[in-house]
Each structure stands twice: as structure tokens, then as C-alpha cells.
Structure 1
């Protein structure tokens, strides 16, 4: 399992640990990843994803998983999340066409 957020693409960064004597040694900055279950309103199902805490705040700010996925770029998403985005887009088209027909 890679250390990469499935929604934002946030991954491991590297840098220097700097001591008091200004000696530099390499270190890794790991993203704050959490396993969460998010619910899609349009698809009416839950999805388990491994996302960063920052992405979780962004999903909440944008109004849910569906809104986040529609605004997110497909290049940043994991294959699982990209497939979910396509399903949400398809469901959105179906819902709007039903509303127009009625």
C-alpha cells in the first residue's frame, strides 16, 4: 500500500533534519493518511478510501464526496477514485435528464 492520498495525490516528501549544530541528515515527511468510509449521495453507496486529513477537510468544505470528485482533476485521483468520478458523472447526467423529461 503506497503512502499516497487517493483523492489529492499528496505523497511522501523528503528533506533534511537539521540539528542544533546545523548538521543535516535526510528525513521523510509522511502524509497524514487515514482510512475512511465516505458516502456518495448520487450513487447511494459507501466507498472505503485512504485519504489525507487535509483531503477529508476539503471534501467536507466542498459539500461531500460527489462535489469533491466533480471538481477534482482526474490526474490527481487514484484509479479507484477516478472510476468513482466517472460513475458520479454518469449518475449526474442521468439525474438531470430525468429532471428535464419530467
Structure 2
């Protein structure tokens, strides 16, 4: 399982820890990933995702999982999240047609 947020694409970053004596040591900065269950209003079901804590705040700020996915770029989303986005779009189109 990769260390990448499924919604925002936040991944591992590399850099240096710099001491007081200016000695540089390579390090990896890992994202704060959480396993969460979010509820999709359009699909009427819950979805398990591995997302960053910052992404969870963004989802709540935008008004839920459906609103976040509809506004997000396809290049940022994982395959699972992209599938969810397509299902939500399809469900909304059916609701408008009916």
C-alpha cells in the first residue's frame, strides 16, 4: 500500500534535517494518513478510504465526500476515488432525468 492520500495525492516528501552545526541528514516526511469511512449522499453507502488528516478537513469544509469529489481534478484522485466520482456523476444525471 503506497503512502499517498487517495483524495488529494499528498505523498512522501524528502528533505534534510539541519542541525545547529549545519550538518545535513537526509530524511523522509510522511503524510498523516488515516483510515476513514465516509458516507456518500448520492450513492447512499459508506466508503472506506485512506486519506490525509488535512484532506479530511477539506472534505468537511467542502460539504461532504460528494462535493469534494465533484470539485477535485481527476489527476489528483486515485483509481478508487475516480471510480466513485464517476458513479456519483452518473447517479446525479439519473436523478435529474427522472
Q: Could you give the per-residue CA deviations for residues 29-75 of structure 1, whole angstroms, max 9, x where no partner exists?
A: 11010000000000000000000001000000000000000000111
Q: Tell whether 2:26 aligns with 1:26.
A: yes
SS at match of 1:88: helix
Give the whole-Å Cα distance in 2 for the aligned partners of 1:97 and 1:65.
Answer: 23
Give the whole-Å Cα distance in 1 for the aligned partners of 2:10 and 2:68.
Answer: 15
Give the whole-Å Cα distance in 2 for the aligned partners of 1:92 and 1:70.
Answer: 11
Q: TM-score, normalised by structure 2?
A: 0.98
Aligned twin of 1:67: 67
Structure 1 stretches of 4+ moved >6 Å: none
Instruction: Give the unaligned 5+ runs of structure 2.
Output: none
Q: Tell whether 2:38 aligns with 1:38.
A: yes
The CA deviation at 1:95 is 1.1
Q: Which has the larger radius of gyration?
A: 1
SS at match of 2:37: strand
Q: RMSD of the alignment, in Å?
A: 0.5
Give the whole-Å Cα distance in 2 for the aligned partners of 1:35 and 1:14.
Answer: 23
Alignment of 1:6-21 (within 5 A): 6-21=6-21
Q: TM-score, normalised by structure 1?
A: 0.94
SS at match of 1:14: strand
Give the whole-Å Cα distance in 2 for the aligned partners of 1:54 and 1:94.
Answer: 32
* Pairs aligned (count): 98
